[in-house]
Amino acid sequence: MRLEIRASLAVLAAACVAVTAAGCGSTPTSKPATDVVAVRGVAAVEHAADPRPLGVADTAFGLDVMRAWCARYPEQNLVFSPSTLASALGLAYLGARGATAQAMARVLHLPAVDPGVLAAQLQARSRALAALDGPGVTLAASNQVWADPTLTTLRGYLNAAATDYSAGVDQAPFSSNPRLASNEINQAISAATRGHISQLVTPDMLANIGWVLTSALYLDANWATPFEAGKTAPASFTPAGARAVSVPFMNGNGFRFATTAGWTAVSLPYVGGKLAMTALLPPSGSGSCALPSTTALHTLADTLAARGQLPFADTALVSLPKVKLSVTGDTGSMNGELEQLGMGQAFGHSADFTGLSPQACCIGFVQQAATLQVGEKGTVASAAAAVGITALSGAAIAHTVVFNRPYLMLVTDTSTGEPLFLAKVANPAAAAAA
């Protein structure tokens, strides 16, 4: 059986670079509870459906992940989508219970609100993301639950995934044919990212896996003010602790900027003004793993937003390197970083994912991949994340039996072991010829 519940992913794209447009630092304002939306089969009032707290949460989560990730790969270019990774983990969180859910909520910085309110916020975030797509900006996103057909996936979980994350569900033969399962997932991710990410999971990753929860995002956005190609020229760039190199720099003027705590931020809006990149320059001598505090980031975002309301605000000349980044393979494994951040409970055998299935054990892997290309016309980016949930020891996924050759059947009295019937089935098609 195949359920198609496809819709836009319930996330705010690229939380770190969209923080200016999202207004993450502001306090949500309530409004009268006039409209009602469906949340996991329960009515939730519209006044709770504010996506901004989730923008704040995903930004804080993204900074935490980048801090831990950069500590492991200090000299490498790194790129990921905080919102995509948070959504894949959010699908796992829907099935988490007890201490496992508490640990995941802390690491994901989820708002401490009633589950119905959180679900309504997720729906609002999905609508906000869908609204970013328009002339000059292509934004497509999707969530998916992949389940082994030999295992039980609770209907309540699937309903929550569909309602909260607009997630569809497909079957994948993890136990019987992991190569085919990985091909099906990778083909779906490749289609969702327009071919930019063609291999997110491998057959080896799917050993003992019962469910894979995926999230994908594709962005192709034009600058509101493109850089002139004729002004692109080579200039010097000095990596931390290394000798200077020559790279092509794009040059333009008229961009809003802000400074605080030694950080300088420049807002680079895309066509339509609904989406913007914020380029953040750390204080001199900060090294390759410098990150602003959440307070500094909010201050920069607020200042940039305020400058956008001023008709004659100071603007900056900007010289920005052209870049083409990608992260795949081993570098994209997030297990260690998430355990370090406090999500270890979800990876061990004491994990509780009974909200997903009575056969679910724990998170087996968290894998992400991403690409980001910044040029004179705009930005093309893609991201995908997958969370693999293992099955409990002894669950059906560990061994599959197909009765496709002659077999026996024994009927016994379970209290005494008395054999009541014994049969050999040589040809089921001839069984009715009595």
pLDDT per position as a tens digit, 322-347: 888 888 888 899 999 999 999 999 99
Domain residue extents for the chain: 19-29+36-221+323-394, 229-321, 398-430
Q: Are 364 and 390 in contact (CB under 8 A)?
A: yes
Which class is domain 229-321? mainly beta
> For residue range 236-278, what is the model confidence (pLDDT) as tens digits?
888 887 888 899 999 999 999 999 999 898 988 899 988 888 9
- Reported as type and span, the H/E element at residue 59 is helix 52-72
Residue 305 half-sphere exposure toward CB, CA atoms < 13 A:
17
Q: How far is 52 from 190, CA to CA, in rounded Å?
A: 30
Percent of the chain with pLDDT over 70: 79
Token look-up 């989730």 returns: 54
Who wins on pLDDT, 199 or 42?
A: 199
Model confidence pLDDT, tens digit, residues 367-426: 999 999 999 999 999 999 999 999 986 544 444 444 556 765 656 454 445 545 565 566
Q: How far apart are CA 55 and CA 64, in angstroms?
A: 14
pLDDT grade for 75, boundaries at 50, 70 and 90? confident
Query: Beta partners for 323?
Result: 374
Task: Supply the pLDDT for residue 403.
Answer: 52
pLDDT of amino acid 242: 82
User: Which own/partner contact pairs does 250-253 have at CB distance under 8 Å and 24+ positions apart?
Assistant: 250/318, 250/319, 250/320, 250/321, 250/322, 250/375, 250/376, 251/227, 251/317, 251/318, 251/319, 251/320, 252/225, 252/227, 252/228, 252/317, 252/318, 253/315, 253/316, 253/317, 253/318
Which CATH code for domain 398-430? 2.10.310.10
pTM score: 0.82
Q: How confident is the model at residue 13 (pLDDT cuts 50, 70, 90)?
A: very low
- pLDDT(104) > 90: yes
Rounded mean pLDDT, 282-289: 86
> Look-up: residue for tokens 């707290």?
53
Which amino acid is present at 116? G
Q: Is 245 exposed, middle or buried (0-12, 13-18, 19+ CB in 10 A)?
A: exposed
Is residue 120 helix, strand or coil?
A: helix
Mean pLDDT of 189-217: 96
Buried/exposed code over 374-406 (b: 16+ C-beta within 10 A; e: otherwise): bbbebbbbbbbbbbbbbbbeebbbeeeeeeeee
Cα–Cα distance measured from residue 360 to residue 94, given in angstroms and rounded to the nearest whole number: 13
- What gap in Å lies between CA 334 and CA 339, rounded to an integer? 9
Tokens for 65, please give them. 């992940």
What type of residue sits at position 164?
D
Dihedral sign of CA atoms 96, 101, 104, 109 in order: positive
Fold classified for 19-29+36-221+323-394: Antithrombin; Chain I, domain 2 (3.30.497)
Q: Left (φ > 0), alpha (ψ -120 to 50) or beta: where does 39 sit?
A: beta
Beta strands at 209-222 and 263-269: parallel, antiparallel or unpaired: unpaired
Residues making up the chain, counted from first to last: 434
pLDDT at 27: 29
Those residues whose C-beta lies under 8 Å from the C-beta of residue 46, and which sit 6 or more positions away, are 31, 33, 34, 35, 36, 37, 120
> What's the distance, CA 344 to chain centroid?
18
Place of tokens 């990212």: 193
What is the C-alpha separation between 422 and 268, in angstroms, rounded? 76
